[in-house]
Amino acid sequence: MFAEDSLAFTVNALDRMAPRRTDAGWLAQQMDLPQARHLGFIGERALLVLNPLGGLALYSLPPSLVREPVFLGSEGEEKPIFASLLPDDQDLAMFGEEVKAIDLRSLAMQSVLPPPMLGVLAQARTLLHWHSTHRFCSRCGAPSEMRDGGYRRHCPACAADHFPRTDPVSIMLVTMGDRCLLGRQARFAPGMYSALAGFIEPGETIEEAARREVFEEAGIRVGEVRYHSSQPWPFPANLMIGVLAEGLSETITIDRTELEDARWFTREEVRAMLAGRHPAGLIVPAPFAIANRLLRSFIGA
C-alpha cells in the first residue's frame, strides 16, 4: 500500500523528451534498445506482473507483440518506455500466470502501485485510447498515420495534422460560510455525495464553466472561483480542474436529469463523511479522487 492521501495519476517522473520524439530515427533506435520497456494494454487494463514478494510491477511485452507503440518518455539516460495496445481478445495465458491485466480505476483505488507508475499508466492509457479512436483523418476521411511517438497523427492524403485530445472538466466545491454544496448522481454508489463537475465548453473560462454548471445543476449562483489543484483522469482523457467557488445564493433547484440530489453539508458532516462515520452512512469519494482533496481543504485537513 502506498500513501493513502496521494491523488492518483498526478505524479509522473518520466522525461517526455518532446524535442527528441519528433526525430523518427532517434525513436526507432530507442525502441530497439535492450533496456527499452514496452507496456501493454488490453482496452483500459494495463498488464502488470506480480512479483514474488506480492507487489506489482510494470510488465514489458516481448518484442513480437509490440505494435504501433507510443513513446511515453525516459526514466533517465536511455531508459525509454513505450506502450502498445493489444487486441481485446489477447490471450493472457501466454504471458504466464503472474501477469495480470488490471484496470486503472482499481489500481488507483487500491493504491497498489507507486504513484509515479500510476501516472505513467494514465499517460499511456489516454494516448492509446486516442489512437484507437482516431485512425482516420477528421478532415478528409483518409487513414492517418502516427507521428512524433504518438503525439501527432498525420494525414498523407490532405496533409492535416491531428493532436491528442485532453478534455478539461471543472470540478467545483461551492462553499457558503460553514457549509458546502454536494450532489449525487444516480450512478454513484449508495450514499455517496461529491463536488459538482462538468465539461468546460469551447470558448469558456474555467471560472465561467464552474458558475454555469453549478447554476444549471443546482440553481445556485456562484461568485468568486479560485483554482485549487488538478488531476489527469484517464477515463479516457479528462483533466479535472479543481476549484473552490463562493456560493451567493442558498436555495437549491435540482436538475433531475443531472443529479438525483444536492444538499448543503456542514463542516462537521463533511468531517464525518471523510472519516466514514456519518450518522446516515453518507460517504464522499476516496482519497484517489480530487473531490476528496477539495473536501479536505474545506475542513482544513
Pairing of strands 238-247, 167-176: parallel
Residue window 93-132: x/- pattern of binding to Zn ion, with contact defined by CB under 5 A: ----------------------------------------
Which is closer to Zn ion, CB of 161 or CB of 250? 161
Kindly tell me which residue out of 121, 124, 137, 284 binds Zn ion, with binding defined by CB under 5 A: 137
Which is closer to Zn ion, CB of 108 or CB of 155? 155
Kindly tell me which residue out of 14, 155, 225, 270 binds Zn ion, with binding defined by CB under 5 A: 155
Kindly state the smallest distance separating residue 152's Cβ from Zn ion, in Å.
13
Binding piece for Zn ion, criterion CB under 5 A, among 105-113, 141-149, 240-248, 284-292:
141-149
Pairing of strands 196-199, 167-176: antiparallel
Of 166, 153, 179, 178, nearest to 262 (Cα)?
179
Which is closer to Zn ion, CB of 139 or CB of 221? 139
Kindly tell me which residue out of 160, 176, 254, 259 binds Zn ion, with binding defined by CB under 5 A: 160
| Residue 140 near Zn ion by CB under 5 A | yes
| Total interface residues for Zn ion by CB under 5 A | 8
Kindly tell me which residue out of 3, 24, 158, 301 binds Zn ion, with binding defined by CB under 5 A: 158
Q: What cell was used for 264?
A: 448543503
Kindly state the smallest distance separating residue 164's Cβ from Zn ion, in Å.
17
Kindly state the smallest distance separating residue 144's Cβ from Zn ion, in Å.
7
Binding piece for Zn ion, criterion CB under 5 A, among 77-85, 126-134, 157-165, 233-241:
157-165
Contact positions toward Zn ion, by CB under 5 A? Answer: 137, 139-140, 142, 155, 157-158, 160
